[in-house]
Amino acid sequence: MTDVETIPGAAEQDTVIAAAQAGDESAFAVLVERYRRELHVHCYRMLGSFEEAEDLVQETFLRAWRKRESFEVGTLFRAWLYRIATNACLDAIRHSSRRVQSLSSFAEVPWLQPYPDRLLDEVAPSDAEPDAVVVARETIELAFLAAVQLLPPRQRAVLILRDVLGWSAGETASLLETTVAAANSALQRARATMQERLPPRRDEWSASKPSEEERALVQRFIDAHERADADAAIAMLRHDARITMPPQPMCFDGVEAIAALLQAGLTDPGDWRLVPTRANRQPAAASYLRAPGDSEFRAFKLDVMRVEDGLVAEVTTFGATLFPAFGLPPTL
């Protein structure tokens, strides 16, 4: 039996593929598991939902198993899996008929979910897989994910394949079973839409580690909430800051609206405990609330921040559903 933990090199892969095609499930697991995380990130970009991306990766592996005999030895197994994953996502998008028609705020993308940085870090090039793409901030941050949801399914796929994964026009056209001209046309339309919707200065962003200034801001955010110091929390906001809470339709624009929210929620020092984390290559804080009479702080929400010029420009608040994916405990 093939060891699932073993990563085959190029010289061994054809042998493992032959075993998988003959029905060896453990050999098949060796082939596909090494791509699980990057395929999950790919499906997440297509769908905007962490949990739905997990379902689509499983669907991808199921389809790959059923089609295993159609794989041609000598071609790239990774590309073959991406083809299956992309088509699975396109089918899911069409089946749900879910598309954002306008995007004034993240509140219009109720299925949007965060992605833990600790899992994004699992996707990186190596000697065994030099084509893997480092997950850069501009291709995974929430603004990008939300804007992608505006695109028709095929434009969405073309944009991600070409501009994120670096596929050629020919490879993209082949995957989508269309012409190069049609793929290029879809890419231009997708790029135009994204340029209109994304915030400025994104070209300066990268997947680099957070700066000391950013770390300090997050710590001040945490301290203000734990002390129930609404004034200190308000002082960290840009004048045009925004808070949204997917899947809730609420959107709070500007310091005055957010101040009222903070003053109502931050009443008694010691009610909250916050833990710094990161999501979508952005700073974040996980909040735990201790209810009256309770001895424990219980998982409550996750705030993902966009920082500009040393101030908080946007906070996207999610529930505690994905705390386990972030490695966060249910209680403190």
Q: Domain range for residue 99?
A: 35-203
pLDDT per residue as tens digits for the range 73-120: 767 889 999 999 999 999 999 988 777 776 777 888 889 999 999 999
122 within domain boundaries: yes
Query: H or E stretch including 298?
Result: strand 298-308
Check residue 60 and give its pLDDT: 98
Do 197 and 108 share a structural domain? yes
305 within domain boundaries: yes
Residue 145 pLDDT exceeds 80: yes
| Rounded Cα distance, 132 and 37, in Å | 11
pLDDT per residue as tens digits for the range 251-290: 999 999 999 999 998 988 999 999 999 999 999 999 999 9
* CATH number of the domain residue 278 falls in: 3.10.450.50
Mean pLDDT confidence for 294-314 = 95
Check residue 311 and give its pLDDT: 94
- Listed in sequence order, the residues at least 6 apart from 77 whose beta carbon sits closer than 8 Å to its beta carbon are 13, 17, 31, 71
**What would the 3-class secondary structure string for 93-131 be?**
HHHHCCCCCCCCCHHHCCCCCCCEHHHHCCCCCCCCCCC
Cis peptide before 200 (omega within 30 of 0): no
Do 251 and 169 share a structural domain? no
Do 216 and 176 share a structural domain? no
Check residue 57 and give its pLDDT: 98
Contact, 273 vs 290, CB < 8 A? yes
Q: Which of 203, 233, 263 is the last residue of a domain?
A: 203
Do 237 and 180 share a structural domain? no
Q: How confident is the model at residue 246 (pLDDT cuts 50, 70, 90)?
A: very high
* CATH number of the domain residue 51 falls in: 1.20.140.160
Do 84 and 226 share a structural domain? no
Q: What number of other Cβ atoms are within 10 A of residue 184's Cβ?
A: 15
Do 62 and 176 share a structural domain? yes
Check residue 13 and give its pLDDT: 75
218 within domain boundaries: yes
Do 56 and 186 share a structural domain? yes
Token representation of residue 196: 């209109």
Do 261 and 175 share a structural domain? no
| Rounded Cα distance, 170 and 212, in Å | 43
Check residue 303 and give its pLDDT: 98
Q: Which of 153, 181, 203 is the last residue of a domain?
A: 203
30 within domain boundaries: no
Mean pLDDT confidence for 48-58 = 97
Reported pTM: 0.90
Number of domains in the chain: 2
Check residue 330 and give its pLDDT: 98
Do 148 and 47 share a structural domain? yes
Q: Which of 184, 203, 222 is the last residue of a domain?
A: 203
Do 235 and 110 share a structural domain? no
Do 198 and 291 share a structural domain? no
Please give the mean pLDDT across all residues of the chain: 88
Residue 4 pLDDT exceeds 90: no
Instruction: Give phi and psi for 302, each to the nearest 5.
Output: -130, 120
pLDDT per residue as tens digits for the range 151-164: 999 999 999 999 99
Q: In this structure, which amino acid lies at residue 154? A: R
